[in-house]
Copies of this chain bind each other. A is one copy, B any other.
């Protein structure tokens, strides 16, 4: 078996230098690092991950902190895409992952405290941003690095990966204004999430610029509540021309209610939402959405966290991922009467 000593001898460096290269120490020059890595390759050396963990006191594992909520919230295709980006980037760097699995906030806090206590992770990715989040307080109280997928709420030097949700929502609303919509309704997911606040802010910005009418209503994913709200709008002949939902799962529920109320899209009412996935592409009918590139969000989050863990230099703490409007059958240009 090839050992670190053999590599050191062959590369003409000290064993501790080889060890530093293996552990990803940033203080090793590029020249030395490449020389050592080439030698490893030519001698067919496989660093033993467990030995590496002890040597570096790293577990080579990343904790993933999911948002609390019901099973339904957790089946969001957005989450699977973000996770897939994280898994892919972690695997490429030899890292494994431990996602939280509790659905209640308190349970998730306990999970995170356990991971910290048992040194089972080197850092965390938080999948959402929310004001006064006790999880962030726990992370701040410990020395472990973390990054957040979502908006930065303070000026701390913590990396946040986000879309420009204000701008994305403003552009979606403008797009609908260009299609001659004048009467809007924005259905927002309750729960005080920053992403929802940003999407409302962007929507209002576009509406105010054109002096148009909108309503912002907050709902849980409760079929009865949303149905009776729309039944009321039908009864009072107060239906908007287009309904924007803050998230794909809410949109999916709204479409199911419209089917029941026999409101046909796009003839009786129109719809648009955020977070593009197969759910929108195959919806009844296919939905106009904003693609927020969730897999890329996950990849950049994992890459950024690994940079922090491995002591690389950080350039910029706020990273914005692009967004794209995807137009489908659920919105059309309104014909002038």
Contact = CB atoms under 8 A, between A and B. Distances in A.
A279 B252 contact: yes
A91 B87 CA distance: 16
Contacts of A245: none
A61 B91 contact: no
Interface string A62-96: 00000000011011010111011001101100101
Interface range, A side: 35 or more
A311 B23 CA distance: 32
Contacts of A97: 96-98
Identify the interface centre among A80, A81, A278: most chain B CB within 10 Å of its CB: A278
B88 A101 contact: yes
B256 A75 contact: no
A259 interface: yes
Contact of A98 (B57, B84, B91, B283): B91
A73 to B, nearest CB: 9
Given A97-B96, A97-B97, A285-B259, A49 B120 contact: yes
Contacts of A279: 75, 252, 279
B75 A87 contact: no
